[in-house]
Chain A
């Protein structure tokens, strides 16, 4: 499923669970946050961080594809429960997908199978919280 630009913005902007962050986040800070996440999670294959408008702030590869596919995942998840989701964990034979919305941002990570879910969610949440507060992703954890 491919979503148009306008549709994608609406999905993320309207339904953010914690859309209370007014801080502008630079791509550089988001990139650092992603690097921190990759360093903390040895099982990580790829990840992306998106802002409240659905724009990709940082992605491990092919940001436009990450933007489309994350929007599709969040749309499907929101529709499945009839309300905005906060976390998603999908485990398949090929790998696992984790998504979290926090502080007006969204982070999605793809890992090897059997990654430690609670640790990954903790790291993702910490990174988003730091980014939203302007501390830079992950720096406050060190």
Chain B
């Protein structure tokens, strides 16, 4: 039995990575929940939960901006 041609090994490896990346993105899309994060000078960040008062206000403000921006223009 002859070994696989080198370029096929490379292609298999690349498509394997692509499959893994696609699966990761699928899981991310399903599992990702809304969040609100703010960052301060120096790199410090803080999460604001959706059910908190500050989080609720941030989501309302963001919702208004999303409404202003509208849908993505068709190319």
Q: How far is the CA of A77 from the CA of B55 in the complex (A)?
A: 9
**B54, A92: Cβ atoms closer than 8 Å:** no
**A60, B69: Cβ atoms closer than 8 Å:** yes
Q: How far is the CA of A114 from the CA of B33 in the complex (A)?
A: 11
Do most interface residues of chain A lie in helix, strand or loop, or is the interface mixed? mixed
Chain B residues closer than 8 Å to A40, beta-carbon distance: none
Q: How far is the CA of A49 from the CA of B49 in the complex (A)?
A: 27
**A65, B66: Cβ atoms closer than 8 Å:** no
15 other A-B residue contacts (CB within 8 Å) besides A72-B61, A92-B62: A45-B66, A45-B72, A46-B69, A47-B69, A69-B68, A77-B58, A80-B54, A80-B57, A85-B39, A85-B40, A90-B37, A90-B59, A92-B63, A97-B62, A113-B29
Select from chain A the residue with minimum beta-carbon distance to B57: A76
Interface, chain A (partner B; CB < 8 A): 1, 17, 43-47, 60-62, 65-66, 69-70, 72-73, 76-77, 79-81, 83-95, 97, 108, 110, 112-114
Number of interface residues of B (CB under 8 A): 32
Chain B residues closer than 8 Å to A110, beta-carbon distance: 65-66, 68-69
Which of A17, A47, A84, A85 counts the most B-chain CB atoms under 10 A from its CB? A85
Chain A residues closer than 8 Å to B70, beta-carbon distance: 45-46, 61
**A112, B72: Cβ atoms closer than 8 Å:** yes
B65: contacting residue among A80, A93, A108, CB under 8 A:
A108
Which of B34, B55, B69, B72 counts the most A-chain CB atoms under 10 A from its CB? B69
**B38, A81: Cβ atoms closer than 8 Å:** yes
Chain B residues closer than 8 Å to A91, beta-carbon distance: 32, 34-36
A90: contacting residue among B25, B35, B72, B73, CB under 8 A:
B35
Q: How far is the CA of A103 from the CA of B54 in the complex (A)?
A: 26
Select from chain A the residue with minimum beta-carbon distance to B68: A65
B47 to chain A, nearest CB (A): 10
**Closest 4 CB pairs between A and B?**
A46-B69, A110-B69, A80-B54, A73-B61
Chain B residues closer than 8 Å to A85, beta-carbon distance: 38-40
